[in-house]
A and B are shown apart, each in its own frame.
Chain A
Amino acid sequence: MSGALPNAALDVRNVMWLLASMAFVVAPHLLRQPEWVGAFFAAVVSWRAWIAWRAARNPPRWLVLVLTVAAVAATLFVYRRLTGREAGTTLLVLMAGMKLLEMKTSREVVLSIHLGFVLVMTNFLFSQSIPLGFYMLACVWLFVATLVGYHRGVGRTPTVRERLVPAGILLVQAVPLMLVFFLLFPRVQGPLWAIPQDSRAGQTGLSDTMTPGSIAQVIQSEAVAFRVQFEASIPPYSLLYWRGPVLWRFDGRTWRIPDANAPGTLEYTRAERPVRYAVTVEPHNKHWLFALDVPAELPPMSHVRQDLQILSVRPVTTRIRYELTSYLDYRYEQGLNRGYRRLALSFNENRNPRTVALGRQWAAESSSPAEIVNRGLRYLNTQFTYTLEPPLLTSDDPYDEFLFEVKRGFCEHYAGSFALLMRAAGIPARVVTGYQGGEVNPISLELIVRQADAHAWVEVWMDDRGWVRVDPTAVVMPSRIDNGINAALGPIGVIPSLIAADRFGVLAKVSFAWDALNSQWNQWVLGYNVDRQRQFLSKLGLELNDWKKLALWLVAATIAVGGLVGLGLVLRDLPTRREPSVVAWDRFCRKLAAAGLARMPWEGPMDYLARIEAARPAAAAEAREITRRYVEARYGDGLSKAATRELLARVRRFRPAQVPGGLRT
């Protein structure tokens, strides 16, 4: 019993809660960071847990210092810097661990908990998905629960329920303020800092080079490239060509974008079947924007090349949404001047001799370009097989190897070799990469275009028709174009296989519902930008066009909402109706306080009276009468109505003499 009672803040269970919360909040970071960071953090947390469990000593100061220096040095070594998103969070995680280790006083516990809240925030620099949002909400809950436990005393560490319930109530009370901040906080045009690149951002299905045969297996990513909401019905699959980089330069193996690409114009000699739609592009860190062939207008902040590829002025680092109209039935006859014509006909004479010879043979035997094109398509139609796992093409003449030996490949092989055949036959040709088709979400009726829908096709120039799209893959494997890649090849990956095996369609429905939810989240939560904010507020009748007005409204709304919540809490704790005697007594005490003789909050009426009698003999007699009645009302039998009225009257008349200075208590 005489043993030292531990510091309440460092009670074992409180420390364990803090450690657990920290581990939870840091876990997503550790998945991204080098293994040694995780190992270090785990070691530090276990060490701290051991210290708390065995009431052992904290590590000596010099050791903490050495470890800190080592952690900073290691971060510097790995990232070559201490700032920036990755290095910064790594350093923060390491330092949070060190703080846990040296934590000795209550102040440091509070500091660690607040550090935890900062760590919650840093997670959103990497991802802003719904699951992470919920996970971080849970983390905040845990930290608040830790804080709740810390504010209780030792020996009375609250149970899990006693922590989580008040913490939950606190969070719910914060919801109105959260909404006010979300809706009214002035939005900045463009990102404030480098916004999360979700892991998908790096692995787009597109690139600006194409080398058929260089990879043996296409990794089919289910990641969403972009989503499209059509205003009217969705056009047929065979017309859903989403243009990406256009490859002109060819060295015998690899197709590349041209070095110089002149600006283009959106002028068509024929433009019919307009469709209107909105595209929401996932961030991919490149400049590409996607439109159906051919766009009638440009998205904001973008320009178009003469080969109709649309490029954003800034790299697409955040999810963006734009509305467009495209003409499905078109004739595009722009942009083939002499320089580009030469580029569209060039190939390496020393490579792929058999392919080149075949092209030239067709040219010699045919009367019109259209006939050559048809002959090419017929040729591919005969003995070729579509596969996503083709053998590697290792020879110096990969297109000869493909066309005459292997005869198995996917869109890159067909587009590349077809373009080469056309060039050899004297028809200007280029390879167009992009996406084809997509998948319709039956719940939101959106078209979801995934990285797996990446595609390559060919455009050939006909002097009388301009650029004409030819898709050799469609000849080899018509279902790839008509129904989408999933239908053609069967599902890809584990989840889609499950979905395919799901006879009742439940999983498919869940999957589509999840995607629809994500889309709404992207549009309304993450995509709540300047324009949407303005739109939303004008619906409420608020025309707030500049951020200063918005900030004023934010402050006003914060005060209003905070005040309302606070008032609610105060009203809840107020007794419903105060007894008249208490009202009278309070007034009596206030009068005396004004006269320099305030009642202490814990001072009983008789003690107070004794003090009044000593300090204000003149008022003593009246004070005695009032106190006697108050005591009778409050602690005795109570007063009759008349007596209560008399008490109130006496208090009203009561005038204690003011004594200047000094004698306050």
Chain B
Amino acid sequence: MNPVEEVVARASKVILGKERQIRLAMACILARGHLLIEDVPGVGKTTLSQALARLLGLEHRRIQFTSDLLPADVIGVSIFDRENSTFRFHPGPIFSQIILADEINRASPKAQSALLEAMEEHQVTAEGETRPLPVPFFVIATQNPLHQVGTFPLPESQLDRFLMRLRLGYPDAKAERELLRGEERRDLISHLEPAMTAAQLLELQRSVTATQVSDALLDYVQALVAHTRVSPKYAQGLSPRAGLAVLRASQSWALMEGRRQVLPEDVQAVLPAVVGHRLHGTGESQKGGFDAAADLLTAVPIP
């Protein structure tokens, strides 16, 4: 079994009945994108992110975002060293390969932006000195839906930095029964063994960009993006960055499907997760991002 399938299979044993979401999360990581998991508390957001971190065999840290979190709590601080009479930088939790940013929308915008800047730049500037972050570097953030009490919604510009946004949803009856019967999830996670090495992961990431993208497929991606820009059903069209994100995620999905070339089906598989947080419906319906993305799929014929 190839390492990707191994990761998916093992994670599926911890998060029951959510194989599709796990595959999407994996596709996101292979496409070198950051992942946002959004859902009500208690459906396994944190469990999923922790399971992934362990299975990928990467060094990971968890930051619990709270309303009093300060940027320094994320990035690190310089502390005066009496022996050498100098300031010494104590790196924060951000200096690890996988960051689990829990309940990111509970923190103040200031703390949020500290993380989000690091996500974009892959480096951190503290006290006038720029420090690179480790490679690979991922953020798996979780957040509560926006109507929950005590949240600071992420602005659209920062949402854009996440390649995908996933929603887990409630488990079905069978999975829930198994969950209620089974072991404590945290114990399961602590017993998880890595399914791949960092080197394997980097190799896979390189293969993603090597998958074949034909002109016909680019036509399709462009048609999708163009549709959101002219159709009155969307409040705002997709940006070129969003189009690029769709393409990278599709490539990654094609690779996971074991294909060298990207097909429209790959685009369709990742599209709701990739554009869901970048689209808003208009008019009387005012559909949320996921529904708007689903509408988009059936509105654009494959050229």
Contacts and interface: CB of A to CB of B under 8 A. Distances in A.
Contacts of B299: 602
Contact of B265 (A2, A600, A604): A604
Interface string A583-606: 000000000000000001111111
Contacts of A2: 146-147, 153
A153 B285 CA distance: 14
Contacts of B233: 153
Interface stretch (A39-47, A135-143, A633-641): A633-641
A218 to B, nearest CB: 63
Contact of A635 (B147, B216, B286): B216
B302 A601 contact: yes
Interface string A140-179: 0000000000011111100000000000000000000000
Contacts of A604: 263-265, 268, 302
Contacts of B229: 156
Contact of B235 (A154, A602, A635): A154
A250 to B, nearest CB: 77
- Describe A's contact surface by its main secondary structure: loop
Given A601-B302, A602-B297, A602-B298, A631 B235 contact: no
Contacts of A4: 286
Contacts of B26: none
Q: Give the interface size bracket for A toward B.
A: 20 to 34
- The interface centre, meaning the residue of B156, B216, B262 with most chain A CB atoms within 10 A of its CB, is B216
A5 B286 contact: yes
Interface string B235-273: 111000000000000000000000011111100100000
A33 interface: no
A630 to B, nearest CB: 10
Contact of B280 (A5, A602, A606, A637): A5
B238 to A, nearest CB: 12
Nearest to B281: A5
Nearest to B212: A636
Contacts of B262: 635
A1 interface: yes
Contacts of B260: 636
Contact of A155 (B214, B263, B282, B298): B282
Contacts of B261: 631-632, 635-637
B286 A155 contact: no
Nearest to B232: A153
A155 B217 CA distance: 29
Given A5-B280, A607-B265, A631-B261, A636 B214 contact: yes
A129 interface: no
A513 to B, nearest CB: 46
Given A602-B301, A631-B263, A153 B286 contact: no
Interface of A: 1-2, 4-5, 7-8, 151-156, 600-607, 631-632, 634-637
24 contacts: A2-B147, A8-B282, A151-B232, A153-B233, A155-B236, A156-B229, A156-B236, A600-B298, A601-B302, A602-B298, A602-B301, A602-B302, A603-B302, A604-B264, A605-B265, A606-B263, A631-B261, A631-B263, A632-B261, A635-B214, A635-B216, A635-B261, A635-B263, A637-B261
Q: Which 4 pairs, one residue from A and one from B, show the smallest C-beta to C-beta distance? A: A601-B301, A604-B264, A153-B232, A604-B265
